[in-house]
Amino acid sequence: MPQHIVVIGAVAAGPKAACRFKRLEPESSVTIIDQARLISYGGCGIPYFVSGDVSDPDHLRSTSFNMLRDEKFFRDTKDIQVLSETTAVAIDRADRTVTVDLPGGLERKTIPYDKLVLATGSRPMRLGVPGDDLPGVFTVSDLQEAVDIRDRVAGGEVGRAVVVGGGAIGLEMAESLADLWGIETSVVELRDQILPGNISPNMARMAQRHMEEKGVSFFLGEEVKAFEGDQGVERVLIREGFLEADLVIVAVGVRPNTGLAREAGLTLSPSGALVVNEYLQTSDPRIYAGGDCVEITNLITGKPEYWPLGSLANRQGRVIGTNLAGGRDRFEGAVGSFIIKLFDISVASAGLSLEKALAEGFDAVSAFVVQFDHAHFYPEKDLLYLELVVEKNTGRVLGIQGLGNKGEGLLARVAAVASILHRKPTTSDISNLEFPYSPPFSSAMDILNALGNTAENILAGRNRVIDPDMFARWWEQRDKGDTLFLDCREWGNAGPFVEKYPGHWKNIPQGQLRDRLAEVPRDKRLVLICNTGVRSYEAQITLDQAGIPDSYNLQGGMAAVKKWGLEI
């Protein structure tokens, strides 16, 4: 029997659910309701529209074959009615109706449904400080706001900008303003690192340093106290003074937009998100929900988690569309994969960072490897920086994160691990992961395999490691005299350091170490150094065999220290 499906929300999950359902039940009818004028757009493309990489906002609303996804498109090509600039104000679950205010707010209408889809998205969080509503303070909540930002920037009204929030959206917006427009841009972040909770402090510092080299300033561990200005924002007050600004973008996170669902009596989580089952049904089985308004299962921890990601919204929309037509597709959860471009580099992760793993109660450690993305002898190659988070007693892989260039090498490695994380892989699985090999694309022993091997050696106690931040602390304390930095490279690499820091930096190439053990002090802590951490690991094995156990291998070697930003 034909159904009438009503969908509230027309950005990602809603249109995907509607279109999937109509393909399965073309004889049924669908009505999509959205309070905005601009619908069905790629929200993750907004920073690239602001930057100018995407020249027209309609490009974010177009299909891959250049058809604009507007009301006419849905009516003519999908047989779906769209009511834009229409606000859903109430759901009557008993009568199965949705009450809406039509454009202009002068007329109210009741729309019946057989089944209902809530894809109401999220609302940006605001700071709630004085001046929060000044002209020039934006949140990038939707495409229209992005158009307003772009118009202001393109009109030459912005010379200095402040981005509040060092998460993915904040950093992408900072790049957008600083890169093509050349705007003096600062990022204010409450935590002591960028991308907090997503990547490790060491990886975060590497990414931050790259952005600083591109002209972006950072104020970490800082709090915005107020926005000030006469006709619009002019200053951002922080604890340590103020920053001048012609434009402010507040990117401090979002909250699920579930007021309508709450009023309808649907079950919400403590975070305010809709609770759904694996079929994406709410507490009312006739009402489905997906996208930024729902909470799903973290497949690593098994706990509910709120992930407002466009990729998840689209996948959930398809599951909902199938189930509206009587299917039983399941959406079991996610591992939280993400990747962003920051000028000339990319940063990606999947699963848990070490910080988050420890907070979730896992007894975890991390392994860090630096290696070429292609075969070392192939002319076109670049370094990848990968970190694997593993559980100590089981070897279970809990997460992966990395940094690389703008190519697809980093994406390929993180995606390969992300795709198996829900199956609880171990370090052995990563060591033996079958990764396609050809010198222009990878190494015979890919960096992923090397990462798994390194993690295994750390868990077995064969590789005792320190990260660049610990190396920096020990280096600052070198005058205490209890630590020797033993460079395992050849003299051409090590010589300048030995000559500059005699008594602190010593060179014994790894290939000579076995014959020169008498030169190694047994009363000092040894920090073993090479370019990437491979030869220094071999040196550690030699020292252990010789009964000199107090040694620590610098993970990632001098390549990591340089990327981290320590000047020696």
Q: pLDDT at position 206, please?
A: 97
333 is a domain residue = no
Q: Is 116 helix (H, G, I), strand (E, B) or coil?
A: strand
pLDDT over threshold 90, residue 143:
no
The verdict on 72 and 18 lying in the same domain is: yes
| Residue 283: both structure tokens together | 């507490």
Assign residue 193 the CATH number of its domain: 3.50.50.60
Show the CA angle centred on residue 231, arms to residues 230 and 236, nearest 5°: 60
Q: What is the mean pLDDT of residues 384-411?
A: 96
Determine the Cα–Cα distance for residues 74 and 81; give it in Å rounded to an integer.
Answer: 7
Confidence of residue 64 (pLDDT cuts 50, 70, 90): confident
- If you ran DSSP here, which 8-state letter would residue 323 be given? H
Q: Strand locations in 453-494, DSSP E?
A: 465-466, 483-487
Query: To 10 degrees, what angle do helices 201-213 and 468-476 make?
Result: 80
- Single out the residue of 246, 242, 59 nearest to residue 149, CA to CA: 246
Residue 98: what are its φ and ψ, rounded to 5°? -120, 130
Gyration radius from the chain CA atoms: 27
Give residue-wise pLDDT tens across range 90-113. Answer: 999 999 999 999 998 789 999 999
Task: State the angle between helix axes of 201-213 and 168-178 in degrees (0 to 180), rounded to the nearest 10.
Answer: 10
Query: Looking at the structure, do residues 259 and 114 belong to the same domain, yes or no?
Result: yes
For residues 256 and 272, the answer to whether their CB atoms sit within 8 Å is yes
Per-residue confidence at 61, pLDDT binned at 50, 70, 90? confident
pLDDT at 48: 85
Verify that 26 and 101 share a domain, yes or no: yes
Q: How deeply is 215 buried, as exposed, middle or buried, from its count of CB atoms within 10 A (0-12, 13-18, 19+)? A: middle
Q: Is the pLDDT of residue 298 over 90?
A: yes
| Confidence check: pLDDT of 62 > 90 | no
Please give the single-letter amino acid code of residue 314.
N
Helix (H) or strand (E) holding 227: strand 224-228
Q: Contact 487/494 with Cβ under 8 angstroms?
A: yes
Q: What percent of the chain has pLDDT over 70?
A: 100
pLDDT at 52 over 90: no
One domain for residues 10 and 53: yes
- Phi and psi of 80, rounded to 5°? -125, 130
User: Is the pLDDT reported for residue 458 higher than 90?
Assistant: yes
**In degrees to the nearest 10, what's the CA dihedral of 283, 285, 291, 294?**
10
Domain boundary among 324, 359, 374: 324
State the total domains in the chain. 4
* The Cα angle at residue 382 between residues 204 and 388, in degrees rounded to 5: 45
Asked whether residue 294 falls in the same domain as residue 260, the answer is yes
Task: Calculate the average pLDDT of the chain.
Answer: 95
In a domain, 129, yes or no: no
Cα of first residue to Cα of last residue in the chain, in angstroms, is: 74
Residues 235 and 310 placed together within one structural domain of the fold: no
**Is 329 domain-assigned?**
no
pLDDT classification of 182: cutoffs 50, 70, 90: very high
pLDDT at residue 462 tops 90: yes
Same domain, yes or no: 446 and 495? no
Same domain membership, residue 216 and residue 155: yes
Nearest by Cα to 458 from 552, 561, 542 = 552
Q: For the sheet with 551-554, list strands across it.
A: 465-466, 551-554, 525-529, 483-487, 505-507
* Domain CATH number, residue 473: 3.40.250.10
Using a 10 angstrom Cβ sphere, with 0-12 exposed, 13-18 middle and 19 or more buried, the burial of residue 490 is middle
Same domain, 8 and 117: yes
Strand partners, 386: 369, 402
Average pLDDT score over residue span 369-396:
94
| pLDDT at 357 exceeding the cut of 90 | yes
pTM: 0.93
pLDDT for position 78: 95
Domain presence at residue 132: no
% residues pLDDT > 90 (the chain): 88
**For position 49, what pLDDT does the model report?**
81
Q: What pLDDT was estimated at residue 43? A: 84
Q: Enter the DSSP assignment of 102.
A: P
Residue at a domain's end among 198, 228, 252: 252
At residue 541, the 3 state secondary structure works out as helix
Q: What angle do CA 25, 30, 32 make, to 5 degrees?
A: 145
Two structure tokens written together for 391 = 């559980």
In a domain, 104, yes or no: yes
Is a pLDDT exceeding 90 seen at residue 180? Answer: no
Residue 299 lies in a domain: yes
Domain final residue, candidates 234, 252, 270: 252
Q: What is the pLDDT of residue 461?
A: 94
Do residues 173 and 244 share a domain? yes
Asked if residue 244 and residue 265 are part of one domain, the reply reads no
If pLDDT is split at 50, 70 and 90, which confidence band does 521 have?
very high
| Residue-by-residue DSSP string for 145-177 | HHHHHHHHHHTT--SEEEEE--SHHHHHHHHHH
Asked, for residue 131, whether it belongs to a domain, the answer is: no
Residue 65 has a pLDDT of: 83
Residue 128: count other Cβ atoms within 10 Å of its Cβ: 6
Instruction: Judge whether residue 403 has pLDDT over 90.
Output: yes
Q: Is the pLDDT of residue 55 over 90?
A: no
- Return the pLDDT at 53: 85
Q: Are residues 320 and 349 both part of a single domain?
A: no
405 band by pLDDT with thresholds 50, 70 and 90: very high
The domain of 203 spans 137-252
Give domain status of residue 331, yes or no.
no
